[in-house]
């Protein structure tokens, strides 16, 4: 899940936009800087994305329909900022960073922002509905998705601005992990891709540009490994600690595949595998039945307190 810095953006302009669709900044002009950022979804990824943008000095509007989710997000961000401050890893006071995040319950709060990053549930229908709504709310801003596997081209086609729709796939935990997969859809303009690459560098991240394909690079490679580890567990090849230890000691992975699945969320892993299986049609992406049962039982990993391992600190 660690990436190297991409030195070149993909592709060139994909021709003229379709009739009635917004155009992009003409080549050679200075693009409008990204000063205000909207983040939709206050879960694990959303609060981490809000954190890194606020830490970079930008004004952030964090939107979620659930007030409890917004409260949890602010508490999590505050704890993580305090941890960074103790390590001397903050360039500005934690209170100042937190004050840059404006928590809201309505999408209308995003009117006029320079960039929106969507970080909601990994469900194509839900994301498509959201992108249609955002298209009517956000003026000339860029729309980005933190999706793990869903087509950026498809999300862009749901709007009148496909040239300004791009993928920004952050890794969990967002404040710590350097990689951002910058996903260029079929109609994403080269200018927008380059702006997002530059923005990621300003955040202190390492952007890697990839083309739009199910699972991109990270999850197309990672998810079959996690899925095969679940099959090993289901078939009794070894128990969960042993499977993780083999990968850690033998392949120098910092986390074993089952512990990593717990960190990602077993529901998220299942959703990604279902997209890969449906889009690519290969059995190697077929989710292990044990993974389906774990999700059905509510054993989702760290966030629920129980997955392939137990996490009593989560309170479950």
Q: Kindly list the catalytic residues.
A: 148, 169, 181, 219
CA–CA gap between residue 271 and residue 144 (Å, rounded):
19
CA–CA gap between residue 292 and residue 310 (Å, rounded):
18
C-alpha angle 109/113/119, rounded to 5°? 75
CA–CA gap between residue 71 and residue 67 (Å, rounded):
6
Residue 100: how many CA atoms within 13 Å on its side-chain side? 25
CB 249: neighbour CB atoms within 10 A?
10
Asked if residue 173 has a cis previous peptide bond (ω within 30° of 0), the answer is yes
The answer to whether residues 119 and 41 touch, using CB atoms and an 8 Å cutoff, is yes
Cβ burial of 24 (10 Å; 0-12, 13-18, 19+) is buried
Q: Is 159 helix (H, G, I), strand (E, B) or coil?
A: coil
16-25 long-range contacts, CB within 8 A, separation 24+: 17/162, 17/163, 17/187, 18/162, 20/160, 21/159, 21/160, 21/161, 21/162, 21/163, 22/140, 22/160, 22/161, 22/163, 22/164, 23/163, 24/163, 24/164, 24/189, 24/191, 24/192, 25/191
> For strand 101-104 and strand 59-63, is the pairing parallel, antiparallel, or unpaired?
parallel
Element (H, E) at 55: helix 44-55
CA–CA gap between residue 176 and residue 168 (Å, rounded):
16
């Amino acid at each position: 899940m660690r990436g190297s810095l991409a030195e070149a953006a993909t592709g060139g302009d994909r021709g003229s936009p379709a009739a009635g669709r917004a155009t992009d900044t003409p080549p050679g002009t200075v693009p409008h800087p990204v000063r205000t950022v909207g983040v939709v979804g206050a879960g694990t990824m959303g609060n981490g994305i809000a954190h890194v943008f606020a830490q970079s000095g930008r004004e952030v509007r964090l939107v979620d329909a659930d007030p409890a989710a917004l409260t949890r997000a602010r508490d999590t961000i505050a704890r993580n900022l305090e941890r960074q401050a103790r390590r001397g890893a903050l360039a500005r006071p934690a209170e100042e960073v937190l004050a840059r995040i404006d928590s809201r319950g309505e999408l209308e709060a995003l009117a006029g922002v320079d960039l929106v990053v969507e970080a909601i549930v990994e469900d194509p229908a839900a994301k498509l509905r959201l992108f249609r709504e955002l298209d009517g709310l956000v003026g000339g801003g860029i729309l980005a998705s933190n999706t793990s596997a869903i087509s950026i081209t498809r999300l862009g086609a749901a709007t009148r601005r496909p040239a300004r729709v791009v993928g920004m796939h952050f890794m969990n935990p967002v404040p710590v992990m350097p990689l951002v997969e910058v996903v260029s859809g079929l109609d994403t303009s080269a200018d927008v891709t380059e702006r997002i690459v530059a923005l990621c560098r300003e955040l202190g991240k390492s952007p890697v540009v990839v083309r739009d394909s199910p699972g991109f690079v990270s999850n197309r490679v990672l998810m079959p490994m996690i899925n095969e580890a679940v099959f090993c567990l289901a078939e009794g090849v070894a128990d969960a600690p042993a499977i993780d230890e083999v990968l850690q000691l033998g392949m120098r992975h910092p986390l074993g595949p089952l512990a990593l699945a717990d960190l990602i969320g077993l529901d998220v892993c299942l959703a990604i595998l279902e997209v890969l299986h449906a889009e690519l049609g290969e059995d190697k992406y077929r989710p292990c039945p044990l993974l389906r049962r774990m999700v059905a039982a509510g054993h989702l990993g760290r966030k629920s307190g129980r997955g392939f391992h137990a996490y009593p600190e989560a309170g479950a």
